[in-house]
């Protein structure tokens, strides 16, 4: 396991994780809310480092990335854990569990890049590695280490994330990213608070990645009935993105009942299309998904 992040309190027993806005204070042996970082020997360690639950070759359009290397594929991997607890999570079987809740196998950055390089040689449409499925930032050190080796091997790095992470982590990984899709769940701070997150931190992530010359940025908003499905909110969200960069690609995606959010039906297709039209008042590139 590589890397550590955290600060030790005055009594030397409790450490506070500095990766995301939760700032979990961890007693010896305690696990953070993300279930992938813990107090090990007096420092915060990424206990999920290199523990892979999911590995597949996906088209880039599935990330989704609509305007980056269309027709190419990426080796997608996920681990376990997430610092947000969205009731509708489609990947809850890995994102909402820890090391004992799911099967995993340990893969080193070197092994991952060797596999990706072999796949690229076999089919040059396979252009790199995507860190996805669960929240990659809960073990951002693995992203950093594998991403560095991937670039050295001539491979691209793709990030798919909710983006709720502190700024110093973004500065560590942004230069390694060739493309990213950030999930902007709402324009309302209270919605993020209900999920255990912070809208301001997500917005800062989007701003930093939009300013990173090497990184192509796209954003996804899942339209959940009763949560973020009003024209006023979509108008506000898209206007804010346009202020950051009117060239940002936005995916307006349809919700389907999942995990703990089964009390409402799927988002009506007409609502998704209507909200996309509101977004197009501000942004040049708006796509609809899951319709």
In a domain, 14, yes or no: no
pLDDT at 268: 98
Helix (H), strand (E) at residue 99: none
Write the CA distances from 174 to 109, 124, 161, 169, 284, integer angstroms: 18, 25, 13, 8, 24
In a domain, 169, yes or no: yes
pLDDT at 49: 98
In a domain, 46, yes or no: no
Query: CA angle, 176 as apex, 170 and 181 as ends, to 5°?
Result: 65
| Paired tokens of 38 | 């813990």
Percent of the chain with pLDDT over 90: 96
Q: Are 86 and 195 in contact (CB under 8 A)?
A: yes
Write the CA distances from 18 to 8, 31, 38, 258, 268, integer angstroms: 11, 14, 12, 31, 40
Asked if pLDDT for residue 185 goes beyond 60, the answer is yes
Where does 20-154 have alpha helices with state H?
A: 92-95, 109-122, 140-152
Q: Are 161 and 95 in contact (CB under 8 A)?
A: no
In a domain, 197, yes or no: yes
Place of tokens 């994330």: 161
Asked if pLDDT for residue 60 goes beyond 50, the answer is yes
In a domain, 2, yes or no: no
pLDDT at 5: 45
pLDDT band at 13 (very low <50, low <70, confident <90, very high): confident
| Strand, coil or helix: 221 | strand
Q: From CA 24, how far away is CA 6, in angstroms rounded?
A: 10
| Paired tokens of 78 | 């996920």
Under 8 Å CB-to-CB from 272, ≥6 apart: which residues? 223, 252, 253, 254, 288, 290, 291
In a domain, 41, yes or no: no
Weakest-pLDDT range from 6-15, 83-92, 193-202: 6-15
| Paired tokens of 141 | 């050190």
Average pLDDT over residues 65-76: 98
In a domain, 12, yes or no: no
Where does the chain have alpha helices with state H?
A: 92-95, 109-122, 140-152, 167-173, 189-195, 199-210, 231-244, 269-279
pLDDT at 65: 98
pLDDT in tens, 196-249: 999 999 999 999 999 999 999 999 999 999 999 999 999 999 999 999 999 999
Q: Are 64 and 72 in contact (CB under 8 A)?
A: no
In a domain, 213, yes or no: yes
CATH number, domain of 119, equals 3.20.20.70
Asked if pLDDT for residue 99 goes beyond 50, the answer is yes
pLDDT at 34: 98
Q: How many domains does the chain have?
A: 1
pLDDT band at 12 (very low <50, low <70, confident <90, very high): low
Instruction: Identify which of 82, 31, 85 has the alpha carbon closest to the alpha carbon of residue 196.
Output: 85
- How many CA atoms lie within 13 Å of 36's alpha carbon, on the beta-carbon side? 32
Range of the domain at 272: 51-289
């Amino acid at each position: 396991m590589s890397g550590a992040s955290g600060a030790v309190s005055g009594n030397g027993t409790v450490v506070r994780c500095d990766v995301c806005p939760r700032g979990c204070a961890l007693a010896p042996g305690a696990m953070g809310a993300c279930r992938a970082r813990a107090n090990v020997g007096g420092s915060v360690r990424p206990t999920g480092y290199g523990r892979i639950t999911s590995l597949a070759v996906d088209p880039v359009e599935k990330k989704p990335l609509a305007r980056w290397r269309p027709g190419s594929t990426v080796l997608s991997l996920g681990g376990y854990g997430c610092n947000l607890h969205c009731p509708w999570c489609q990947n809850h079987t890995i994102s909402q569990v820890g090391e004992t809740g799911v099967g995993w196998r340990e893969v080193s950055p070197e092994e991952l890049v060797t596999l990706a390089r072999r796949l690229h040689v076999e089919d040059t449409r396979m252009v790199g590695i995507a860190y996805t499925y669960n929240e990659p930032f809960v073990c951002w050190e693995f992203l950093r280490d594998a991403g560095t080796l991937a670039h050295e091997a001539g491979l691209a790095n793709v990030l798919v994330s909710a983006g709720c992470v502190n700024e110093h982590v973004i500065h560590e990984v942004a230069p390694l990213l060739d493309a990213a899709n950030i999930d902007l769940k709402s324009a309302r701070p209270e919605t993020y608070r209900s999920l255990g997150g912070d809208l301001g931190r997500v917005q800062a992530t989007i701003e930093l990645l939009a300013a990173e010359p090497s990184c192509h940025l796209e954003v996804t908003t899942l339209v959940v009935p009763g949560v973020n499905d009003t024209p006023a909110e979509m108008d506000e969200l898209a206007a804010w993105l346009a202020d950051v960069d009117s060239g940002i690609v936005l995916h307006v995606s349809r919700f389907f009942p999942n995990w703990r959010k089964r009390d409402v039906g799927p988002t009506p297709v007409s609502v998704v299309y209507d909200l996309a039209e509101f977004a197009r008042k501000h942004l040049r590139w708006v796509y609809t998904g899951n319709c």
